[in-house]
Structure 1
Amino acid sequence: MHDERRQDALQRHGLTETQDGFTVTVAGFQKAGQRAQDLRAEGNEEAARMLALGTTDPVRWEYARCLQIDAFSKEAHESGF
């Protein structure tokens, strides 16, 4: 993956990369919230439980991080970068 394209994709998904892995940004948390709402509408019970948690709950933030990592990974795989 070209570094610039990778950085653009990370930013688009609201992720930053650290030595320990990925961290979700506030923008990424918001995008994940929309994705979780879509998943809940499709009947996803896990998404419904996560959306029921408060926005400051660390479990909800971790769920958002995982959703955004998944979206980033899919984009990286599909685009071949």
Structure 2
Amino acid sequence: MKLDGYTMGSLAGGTGTECAHTVGAVKKDEFFKAMEVDNEDELLLLVDAYKEVAEWSKLHLVMTDFQTDSFVWFETDWDDK
């Protein structure tokens, strides 16, 4: 499973941060337990009902706890002010 995200703000002074987090097969069952679901279908139903930022933030946090691969890119502000 993979979560791709883009958030406003950047530690490098830019306008956004891009990230990707993958939970591989070796951590899948632990991830499902932490999300309180039994399988991919239940997870998709859960995520499909998300309406609040807090719900997406929890998913992102749990994904990072069980990730087997990740990528993060911070936009940079190159303006010479």
> Taking structure 1 as the reference length, what is the TM-score of the superposition?
0.31
More strand, by proportion? 2
More helix, by proportion? 1
> Taking structure 2 as the reference length, what is the TM-score of the superposition?
0.31
**Bigger relative contact order (CA 8 A; separation at least 6):** 2
Larger Rg belongs to: 2
